[in-house]
């Protein structure tokens, strides 16, 4: 894909993650205060239990319940090692390689990316834009400072 086209797709997908109506229309159960930016101390969390507890306190309990359901796929995909299907949950964008990446990777449906590795497929899986995305302050600063995905 062309560079300008790819960058424009990423910018459009980022813009869609900020609109609460678009995110809820996609099926995510987000709190009333969405969108918000996470504190930099969030990147220092190193235990999965701590990450889950904090996200439940932030109002993502319904989202966890929605994502934990594992459904048996219809059709021949069952025979081709794609038996189970799971909904996609929130995406976390961090500024650098940190302990949070290891801590949150075991939570079902949750993806974690460094800001320079953002792509349109992660921000809009299945070409359906409006994924619930949470950025840390440092990730936003790095996005602005390095002018990532701009011209």
This prediction's pTM: 0.90
Nearest Cα neighbor of 70 from 32, 109, 103, 41 is: 109
DSSP, collapsed to helix, strand or coil, labels residue 72 as strand
pLDDT digits (tens, 9 = 90+) for 24-50: 999 999 999 999 999 999 999 999 999
Whether the bond into 71 is cis, omega within 30 of 0: no
Cβ contact 121:13 at 8 Å: no
In the sheet with 133-135, reading across from the earlier edge strand, the strands are 111-114, 91-94, 133-135
Report how far residue 3's alpha carbon sits from residue 32's, in angstroms, rounded to the nearest whole number: 36
Residue 3 pLDDT > 80: yes
């Amino acid at each position: 894909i062309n560079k300008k086209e790819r960058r424009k797709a990423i910018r459009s997908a980022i813009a869609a993650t900020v609109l609460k109506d678009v995110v809820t229309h996609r099926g995510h159960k987000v709190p009333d205060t969405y969108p918000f930016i996470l504190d930099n101390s969030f990147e220092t969390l190193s235990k999965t239990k701590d990450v889950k507890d904090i996200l439940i306190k932030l109002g993502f309990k319904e989202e966890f319940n929605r994502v934990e359901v594992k459904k048996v796929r219809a059709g021949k995909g069952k025979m081709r090692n794609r038996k189970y299907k799971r909904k996609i949950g929130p995406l976390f964008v961090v500024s650098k390689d940190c302990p949070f990446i290891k801590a949150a990777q075991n939570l079902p449906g949750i993806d974690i990316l460094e800001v320079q590795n953002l792509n349109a497929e992660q921000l809009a899986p299945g070409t359906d834009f409006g994924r619930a995305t949470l950025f840390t302050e440092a990730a936003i600063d790095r996005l602005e400072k390095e002018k990532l995905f701009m011209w």
